[in-house]
Structure 1
Amino acid sequence: MLIGVIADDFTGASDIAVTLAKGIQGEGGLKTTQYLGVPSRPAEAEVEAGVVALKSRSVPADRAVAQSLAACRWLQAQGCEQILFKYCSTFDSTDSGNIGPVIDALATHLGAKSVVVCPAFPAMGRSVYQGHLFVGDRLLNESGMQHHPLTPMTDADLRRVLQRQSHNPVVHIGWQTVSQGSDALSRALAKVEQQAETSRERASGAASNAGPQANATTLVVVDAISEADLAAIGEACRYAPLVTGGSGVALGLPHNFIAQGRVSGQPARTPQVPGAEAILVGSCSGATREQIAEHQKHHPVMMIDVGDVMSGITGPDRLVDFIQAHQGQSPLVYSSGDPASVRQIQQQYGREKVAAALDALFGTTAQRLVAAGTRRIVVGGGETSGAVVSALDLGALTIGEEIDVGVPAMFSQGEEPIALALKSGNFGGKTFFARAVASLRG
């Protein structure tokens, strides 16, 4: 294994896994496997990139750090030469959140002098310019993400957001440098490290009280507005022990090993998986609601009333009965709602209780469906995806072809594999759900 990824949620893990698997167009990527949590045994010898999917985005920061370090140690034990910490391309993290603390801990563990921070994913409209994160033509805090029920993003300046989370200094390299290519960016990154080393020497000479680990790493927010920028970042980071960002930052990394002749760059393959299908959706994003509305025009759809779930009126039996009654028609069940109704339910029952109840509902439903013969499952929403794959306890998933931007087909191991597609809330076109079910059939 050459590259190891620590992802803070399950859909984000599959997103970066397919980026590594496909690589740069015409060149190919790495043989990639996604692991559901930190594995208890070694990886298969043929795996070139391993992605450890955690559910650490919304847990307390100390737990996220502990889980991420455990994943890092396992990946290092598999021989990984480079570690990526993957978070959402909309930088989902409050001021008390986990991105800064996890980067700090991983940087200290790996001895990284500087760490690139770049959540840009231009294919999905996420770009970083002058240190600010944009969604399409809107600043992050004007994109709708300011209303996110778990991680409301109210500041688009990544330097400010990250500095409120990290004890390390945060600097910025602008697009004007990145656009000049990997050599110019490499020089800029080297200059950052030299300046940081000079500052540390001065602080040490002045008998600073900062302590041996304070300011040991510089976090570098790097602009990117195109895939060419991401390729330049990947090449400039070819020797970096730690890289962080959205899935886009991984785009150019397989090239480094292909250019060295260490891997062949073979494309991912998608096997055929017959059997019953189900679509389980828990995202409340605007894109997901549009996808559900489109799916409902031609396929059976059942809405789950969260209040009924909390009161015990609706349980897994009802969901399973609906899906099995509509086999062959791509049946979909969902708990999505507009942000206002979601907030009302959370205020009534408590956010954590609502999340736990929905996780249990979808997880148990998936278990019962698979036990009854369902072999193709499409899941919408990061939290829901985490609940489903955790409940199914599949261990490892082989990454297949890309269904839509950032969403691969994935397959469990064994003689009767289960095919999965895990979609982040804002990903996919309007007809995603029907196309995903068809793609998983092979």
Structure 2
Amino acid sequence: MFDSNEGPVIGVIADDVTGASDVAVALRRRGLRTMLFFGTPPEGTDLPGHDALVIALKTRTVDRREAVARSLAALAWLRARGAGQVYFKYCSTFDSTAEGNIGPVLDALADAMDVPMVATTPSSPEHGRTQYNGYLFVGDVLLSESHMRHHPLTPMTDSYLPRVLGSQSAYRAGVVPLAEVRRGEIGRRLAELRGQGVRYALVDAVEDDDLAAAGRALAGAPLVAGAAGLAGGLAAARPSSSYDDAPAPPLTGSAAVLAGSCSARTLEQVAAVIEAGRPAHRLDVLADPDEESLAKAALDWYDALGPGSGAPIVYSSLEPAALRRVQEALGGERSAAILESAIGRVARGLVERGVTRLVCAGGETSGAVVGALGVPGGVIGAEAARGVPWILTASGLALLLKSGNFGEPGLLLEASATTPMGVA
């Protein structure tokens, strides 16, 4: 159905910052020279030699009209710079609300590119996300039975992806079953679904080899969507560039941890930092629902720390019961907006005080940090954990932007140590 080509520039539109770093490192691993930008770059942005351009947006939970507008602006920028294949990157747990934004953004991109069929999958076996018969699994359980059922912003209560996507989109969704993936019949099945009036084909994949097969079948597709796993499959199917070993973060200067995710894994990681005796300060939005005041208190606390205490952590992550109390008192959107603004202000203050290594936990948190710092983008460096690379900016700042669910329990602690993970 799709014709192969000599490997055009891949242009990626990611719906959050941590997802952008995840997909960027998946492309870099395959030898593609990859550039990452936070937000759609301005006209005239210098572009050295590259094979992939990744734009990190913050569109996962914003109003769907705004998500569509930002995504279309990113699409126009990428296509103007020669992107022959566009990849819409969403989370491997299909994070979305009942209204979107995966469906509305996909509809807008497909309409703008006049694409009749889009293949997609959130499968990412290395992160424990697999799709079978159209159902999404997190580890050994269905998505709807996982921790994502209680996500504060995007609770996922249905595991059958054609139904989830179909509820958000103006078009029908179908499935490419695993048996057909493994028989090399992806193209035939896509043509069959298209003949039935289906626009979105969710491709089963439970192993990396399945994603590699999908990547080969979709090598010439103008628009593809999914998590980082399928992007890696696409990259593997094309001629790779010679790319030097990824640079490591600088060892000089101080580090700090900023955590806002309330995922179970981030809570474990925050607990590990605190249990290790690191200085810790919690942003208590119930006690002080003002972003400026919250940030000032955190920075005053930081200024009072003595030398040799180790990299501190400033966090707003809460256990589910405490999070519910906050949302009941202030509302989910208001409390999130206050905390994101506060943590962005804290990040700016820490950098002004000489911090050169920031370890951030959570997609919304990471987006708030890069937005507050005005960081335009950076080079993809060594990975501190699978899918969690260091991002090295032109100003010398090293950023680790971690999705809430990623990494082992000790990741935040080890990444902010004197010799961080990812350093040989």
TM-score (norm 2): 0.92
Residue 256 (structure 2) aligns with: 278
- Shift of the 273–288 alpha-carbon distance from structure 1 to 2, 3 Å rule, reads same
Measured in 2, the distance between the counterparts of 1:371 and 1:2 equals 37
Q: How does 1:202-217 map to 2 (within 5 A)?
A: none
Contact 2:359 2:399 in 1 (8 A): yes
Aligned to 2:67: 64
Structure 2 residue aligned with 1:295: 273
Determine if contact 2:283/2:294 at 8 Å carries over to the other structure: no
Correspondence for 2:18 among 2, 8, 11: 11
Indicate the larger mover: 226-235 or 308-317.
308-317
The one-letter code of the counterpart of 2:166 is: Q
For residues 245 and 392 of structure 2, what CA distance do their matches in structure 1 show? 16
Residue number in structure 1 paired with 2:142: 139
Distance 1:292 1:167 in 2: 41
Question: Shift in Å at residue 271 of structure 1?
Answer: 5.0
CA distance in 2, matches of 1:72, 1:128: 27
**Number of equivalent positions:** 410
SS for the counterpart of 1:278 is strand
Name 1:184's counterpart in structure 2: 185
Aligned twin of 2:38: 36
Give the 3 Å change call, closer, same or farther, for CA 255–371 of structure 1 in structure 2: same
| 1:433 and 2:412 matched | yes
For structure 1, the 5+ residue unaligned runs are 24-28, 200-216
Pairwise CA distance, 1:353 = 1.5
Aligned partner of 2:289 among 277, 301, 310: 310
Query: 1-side partners of 2:238 and 2:291: how far apart?
Result: 53
Cα distance in 1, alignment partners of residues 63 and 383 from structure 2: 32
3-state SS of 1:251 partner: helix
Residue equivalent to 1:355: 336
Identity of aligned residues (%): 44
Q: How far, CA to CA, are the matches of 1:43 and 1:138 in structure 2?
A: 45
Are 1:380 and 2:361 counterparts?
yes
CA distance in 2, matches of 1:43, 1:327: 40
RMSD over equivalenced CA pairs, Å: 1.9
Aligned to 2:246: 268
Give the distance between the partners of 1:56 and 1:45, measured in 2 at CA. 27
Q: Given the alignment of the two structures, is residue 253 of structure 1 paired with residue 256 of structure 2, yes or no? A: no
Aligned-partner Cα distance in 1 for 2:246–2:58: 25
Q: Find the residue that maps to 1:344 and give its secondary structure.
A: helix
Superposed, which structure 2 residues align to 1:90-129 within 5 Å? 90-129=93-132
Whether the aligned pair in 2 keeps the contact of 1:22 and 1:268 (CA below 8 Å) is: no
The 1-side partners of 2:94 and 2:318 are apart by 22
Using the TM superposition, give the Cα deviation of residue 297 of structure 1 relative to its aligned residue in structure 2, in angstroms: 2.2
Q: Give the superposition deviation at 1:266.
A: 4.4
When residues 113 and 323 of structure 1 are mapped into structure 2, their CA distance, relative to the original with a 3 A threshold, is same
Match of 1:77 in 2: 80
Report whether the alignment pairs 1:225 with 2:232. Answer: no
1:257-281 CA-to-partner distances (Å, cap 9, x unmatched) read 32xxx63354433253521111000
Structure 1 length normalisation: TM-score?
0.88
Going from structure 1 to structure 2, the CA distance change for 1:361 and 1:79 (only over 3 Å counts) comes to same
Distance in structure 2 (CA, Å) of the matches to 1:332 and 1:412: 22
The one-letter code matched in structure 2 to 1:15 is D
User: Which amino acid in the other structure matches residue 185 of structure 1?
Assistant: I
Cα distance in structure 2, aligned partners of 1:75 and 1:372 = 36
- State whether structure 2 residue 222 is matched by structure 1 residue 241: yes
Unaligned runs of 5+ in 2: 1-7
Where 2:413 maps in the other structure, the secondary structure is helix
